[in-house]
Chains A and B, each alone.
Chain A
Amino acid sequence: MTFKWSRQKKYLLMGMVICGLLAMTFVTHNQRFYRQPIARVVKVTNGKAQRTEDEFKNVDHQTEQQITAVLMNGKYREKKVTIKNTFSDSQPMDQEYYVGDQLFLSQLGKRDGGLTANPAGQKRDTVVVFLSWLVITILLLTMGRAGIFALISVVIDTILFMIALALDLHNQGNHVLLIFSVLALIFTAVSLLLVLGPTKKMLATFCSTIVGTTIAILVGVLVLSLTNNRGVYYESMQYVTQVPRPLFIAEILLGSLGAVMDESSDIVATLFELKRIDPNVSRMQLFMSGRSVGKSIMGPLVNVLFLIFMADTFTNSLLYLKNGNSWGYTFNMNMSLGMVQSLISGIGIVLAVPAVSVFGSLLLGRRK
């Protein structure tokens, strides 16, 4: 590939490498900032594997580990600690530790003259920092200005999301839908302003995103109540600390927003291009071309969301099947919510096509 490295890019790459090295140095030496004790494994002695078998004939092996580790923070810094760990072949909630691993400890204390503790999970911040650095570097190097704006938009959206979370908790989850609907409006405005700037294009995209998403949510809620939520198992929702149903609707709203925005901005961009080529283009023509662009984008977009929502249920579904449950029950308890989320988002993505085409043609087209 004859890829020319401009001067700017060389400086950018050098800057990113230096940033990366600094960040990695920090994150590998930040143990003292943690209150929870962290230790580095220096010696491991594995016991003999014990065979286990459950009532569903699942065979696994469990092994006891005697770990010697050196503490890296707190008042016992540099002291040795003995840790007992049990791991299995499949490692669902446990894991095997190796020499050099860094892990969090719980119940650290003196027993029989030596320090003992229990393992409480691996230190994972290094991976997070490395992967984020890799993504940001490639984003900036390949995408230039567009990359910078995309990054800024992600950062702003994350901050807004955290503010909304704080508000939601402040109200004990009473207005979860209202809070996240307002958040969705702000999200859309901020993201589109950053991608498109304060233009007529942005306004058209904004309106159709809102219309598409709103109709989809209304249709979704209507269908759910008409069918009495039959086959939708809210109790299977994970990590729920508030009333599940409004929370679920809020999740659908946020989840579909990006896709609807994506599609609307593609269609609006095409319509503006058509208007530029032929200033006298009629409303009907604009509407028809909007629809033809939309119908080829909507299929892949629905699949994007569908795979994100459904792949999350992969591990749990496997566990259900392995515990002797039927396919139907496994689907109901793990996939029904993801399916409803995909379907309602899909309806939003599809309905946004006529919505954005109408908006675009009214805004740009000539009456005939």
Chain B
Amino acid sequence: MSSINALGLILLLVMFLVGGKQGFRSFISLLLNFCSLFFGIVLIEFHVPPMFVAVVIGITILAITIFMGEDDLRTTVTAFYASLIVLTILLFLIFFISHWAMVQGFGTEDSDDLEGMSILIGISYLKVSVTAIVLSTLGAIAEAAMAISAGLTEILETHPDISNSRLIEGGMGIGQQIIGTTLNTLFFGCFGGVLSLFIWFAGLHYSFGTIINNKIFVAELIEILISFLGVLLTVPITSLVMVKRRKEVVDKSIETK
């Protein structure tokens, strides 16, 4: 058996043991997200415009992560709308930043890996990199949106008559509680991805000026900063969406009682 299959089986097993049915569903959502991501690459291979792929696959991944992660529709629908708004804002921002920074494709450090490859593939690497950055941030956005939305649903359940501004304050309060650890997750996640690159930089004594202008480094940095920004935007936007949807949420709470 290959290592990936063995590890996958163990993950499925522990997810089921710890989380029961919900754990099993989490595993399926991981599998579906992988399929969506791979399908996205294949679509771009067939010259479907990368920005279109970013939107379609982005919405799919958000839907899978949010609706399979939680049962309560009051929470998930709000989280889904909020993360769609954040996705739209980020898409424009990433497009603008990428055109400014020009960090698409490969750097000189990639030369070894590219040996024997034909890199002129006739598809704009800039747009591909926009797609990749958008997709990498989605998990964090979905997670933050769900955390805020679940907290706000609970507040609405116990205080159905709370004023709109107090509700937003509540959302920002939950945001302040989760922001430290969420940023840690993203930050360490990225450290784990760039360790070997940094050893390369340090080993070859790159100067600070070289690193801060290096194509690959700037690309990684943009990715992490954009994810930070995505999470930061998610907090107020989820609160605002919850204010707009509060009537439905409260009605549903009464129904289920």
Contacts and interface: CB of A to CB of B under 8 A. Distances in A.
Contacts of A122: 101-102, 213
B254 interface: no
Nearest to A230: B2
B213 A56 contact: no
Given A34-B209, A300-B65, A341-B192, A93 B180 contact: no
A72 to B, nearest CB: 14
Nearest to B15: A350
A311 B135 contact: yes
Contacts, number: 398
Contact of A258 (B113, B126, B128, B186): B186
Contacts of B222: 127-128, 131
Interface string A105-137: 000000000000000011111111001101100
Interface string B171-210: 0100111111111111111111101111110110001011
Contacts of B132: 311-312, 314-315
A191 interface: yes
A93 B111 CA distance: 9
Given A166-B202, A311-B132, A347 B11 contact: yes
A305 B189 CA distance: 6
Contact of A344 (B7, B168, B188): B7
A298 to B, nearest CB: 6
A150 B191 contact: no
Contacts of A219: 10
Contact of A128 (B42, B212, B227): B212
A188 B243 CA distance: 36
A296 B29 CA distance: 13
Interface stretch (A8-16, A74-82, A84-92, A359-367): A84-92
A305 B120 contact: no
Contacts of A124: 101-103, 212-215, 218
Contacts of A174: none
B92 interface: no
Contact of B18 (A146, A238, A252, A291): A291
Given A223-B7, A347-B14, A318 B181 contact: no
A194 B37 CA distance: 36
A323 interface: yes
Contacts of A291: 18
A174 to B, nearest CB: 13
B129 A315 contact: yes
Interface string A158-172: 000100011011000
Interface string A310-328: 1110111111011100010
A185 interface: no
B1 A150 contact: no
Nearest to B202: A165
A49 to B, nearest CB: 12
Interface in A154-212: 154, 157, 161, 165-166, 168-169, 173, 180, 187, 191, 194-195
Interface residues of B, number: 124
Interface string B136-161: 11111011001000000000000000
B109 interface: yes
A307 B229 contact: no
Nearest to B185: A258
A261 interface: yes
B23 interface: yes
A124 B137 CA distance: 22
Contacts of B109: 239
B139 A314 contact: no
A281 interface: no
B225 A92 contact: no
A163 B189 CA distance: 19
B135 A259 contact: no
Contacts of A35: 207, 209
A259 B188 contact: yes
A154 B187 contact: yes
B121 A319 contact: yes
Interface in B77-121: 97, 100-110, 113-114, 117-121
A336 interface: yes
B29 A255 contact: no
A95 B102 contact: yes
Contact of A315 (B1, B128, B190, B229): B128
A60 B68 CA distance: 41
A217 B114 CA distance: 31
B179 A254 contact: no
Contacts of A21: none
A306 B33 contact: yes
Interface in A224-270: 224, 226-232, 237-242, 247, 250-259, 261-262, 265-266, 269
14 contacts: A34-B209, A90-B119, A121-B215, A239-B200, A251-B195, A262-B184, A265-B181, A299-B69, A302-B30, A303-B65, A315-B129, A319-B119, A323-B118, A339-B4
Give the 9 A-B residue pairs with the shortest CB-CB distance, closest first. A255-B192, A299-B26, A258-B188, A231-B2, A311-B136, A295-B19, A304-B139, A92-B105, A314-B132
Given A124-B101, A300-B146, A343-B8, 4 more contacts: A131-B226, A187-B188, A238-B113, A239-B196
Interface of B: 1-8, 10-11, 14-15, 18-20, 22-23, 25-26, 29-30, 33-34, 37-38, 40-42, 44-45, 61, 65, 68-70, 97, 100-110, 113-114, 117-126, 128-129, 131-133, 135-140, 142-143, 146, 164-165, 168, 172, 175-193, 195-200, 202-203, 207, 209-210, 212-215, 218, 221-222, 225-229, 232-233, 235-236, 240
